[in-house]
Amino acid sequence: MPSNKDILEAQRFNRRRLIAAFSSGTPGGKEVDAPNNLRPLLVGAVIAALILIVAAVMGRFSPTLPQGWENSTMIVIKSSGARYYTIDGTLRPVTNITSARLLSEAGSYKTSRVSASTIEGLPRGSQVGITGIPDDIPSSSALHSDEWMSCALEGGTHTWVAGKPEGTSNAGLVLVTSANRQYLISGGTRYLLDTTGTLGPARSLGLDQVTPIEVEAAWLDLFVKGSDLAPLSIDDAGQPATNMPERLKSARIGTIIEVRDEAKEKSPSRAYIVTGDGRIASLSSVARRMYELSDAYQKAGNPLSATIADIQDLGGNETFGPADWPSTINIDEVVNTDSVPCANLVLSATGARTELLSMNAREARRAASGAASTTNASATEVPTGSQIEGKTGSQTEGKTEPLSSVTVRGGSGALVRASSGGTLGATMFISDIGRAHGLGENPADAIARLSWTDKDVVSVPSAWMKLVEPGEDMTAEAVWTTVGVQ
């Protein structure tokens, strides 16, 4: 057993070693470096900066109301999607975005998305806004105001706005019937047939074997009214004509002269009609057939043959018959019953016109029911008109139910001015709910509130407007009547 002296000596030895370790350098003669106080300061600064950045980001995206939210602000609740419009610091539930835009002065409308807790305690009011208008309106770039097409389907007229179906082709002629009267449509013009209660004009033109297609009057009005296809007559028919060349000495007023160019053996003969002493007029194929239906033709005698040399000294450079008549009619170009006739609106710098197209009847019906795509891949067929009421073009007891009247490209529409040929006319918006909404007596105000411009307005013939059912007016006055007094 160590003695007390040994234990005390051992403690003294350990104490000397400890003091020597603290007071002497490291083995090998290198001193221990003093600790660096800068490193923990840098780490602390980085952590503090991160905390500030996180706080700034959280503050940036925190659901707070923007400055000036008390008026003209659409507040959307993130969790529920509920929408409120602010009027004098009061939250008013709003029917749709379009109403909110119309309530705001031009350029003042703004939107804010916040949490439900952000608006707790704010005053609330009654609902504002009007129904029967689109939830929101397209931007100027999304408008397709110049795209209009309407087809005469078996179940009724169907019109496409701001988008057109695929599968159409140019058509030369179509024979249609409306209100028990027959019309021939050629190009963009309609011509009434059967003005005398007989089928003489149709038979003369070779149309008596063609099955006419039933169309509605509103669709027919899309085409310019042309001169009636009726028998032509001429004054003093059968009276002798003087100052005629030797070969045509027997010609009378009303006599048809057939002229062939002898230098071109295969060239078709041209027809002229004697209109007076030493005078003739050009006679088209259609005009000749209409003239041959009249009593004047019987009085004038049989046609005469002549050469270009024979008629070169005769006067007259006019055309016999209405100038708007087609010169020829080719039966092979008539739209048959397997297809449907379509009217297509063409707008140019010179004005508006309607061109005649055709489309396979089955494909047209699919397009009208929304089963086919439009020419634009982004187009969306929206059930409108009678489709909303449950009429989808189904077959019932062997009869075809009417289709919806209008299809408008979803998310688009047409901002148009209904024109009757001048610069004046009602301005309206054709929305993707298939309605024509008037913009009031001062359309410039509504246009500005809806973030459009006057340059977005396209003039469209008023006949096209009659194909779209009227909807609620989109005006500031109409929306403000729903605000009331709190």
Contact 411, 432 (CB under 8 A): yes
Q: How confident is the model at residue 285 (pLDDT cuts 50, 70, 90)?
A: very high
HSE (side-chain half, CA atoms, 13 Å) at 290: 27
Query: How do 110-114 and 73-77 pair as beta strands?
Result: parallel
Over residues 287-296, the mean pLDDT reads 94
Per-residue model confidence (pLDDT) at position 125:
94
Are 116 and 79 in contact by the 8 Å Cβ rule? The answer is yes
Beta strands 148-153 and 156-161, pairing class: antiparallel
Q: What is the pLDDT of residue 394?
A: 38
Least trusted range by pLDDT, from 251-265, 283-297, 386-400, 470-484 = 386-400
Of the candidates 112, 133, 208, 150, the one whose C-alpha atom is nearest the C-alpha of residue 343 is 150
Report the side by side order of strands in the sheet with 414-419: 436-438, 427-430, 414-419, 458-461
Predicted TM-score (pTM) of this structure? 0.78
Q: What is the mean pLDDT of residues 215-244?
A: 95
Q: For position 46, what pLDDT does the model report?
A: 83
Residue 169 in this model has a pLDDT that exceeds 70: yes
pLDDT score, position 197: 63
Residues 200-210 have a mean pLDDT of 90
DSSP H or E stretch at residue 475? none
Cα–Cα separations (whole angstroms), residue 395 to 10, 80, 359: 116, 42, 21
Q: Name, in order, each residue with C-beta under 8 angstroms of 449's C-beta and a sequence gap of 6 or more.
A: 101, 102, 104, 105, 106, 109, 476
Lowest mean pLDDT among 251-260, 266-275, 397-406: 397-406
Q: Which pLDDT value is given to residue 267?
A: 60
Q: How confident is the model at residue 266 (pLDDT cuts 50, 70, 90)?
A: low
pLDDT at 186: 95
**At residue 389, does pLDDT exceed 60?**
no
Q: Are 219 and 230 in contact (CB under 8 A)?
A: no
Q: Which domains can be identified in the chain, with CATH numbers?
A: 39-133 (3.30.2390.20), 138-160+337-470 (no CATH)
Residue 403 has pLDDT above 60, yes or no: no
d(CA 326, CA 482): 56
Q: What is the mean pLDDT of residues 413-419?
A: 96
* Residue 62 pLDDT level (bands cut at 50, 70, 90): low
pLDDT value of position 390: 32
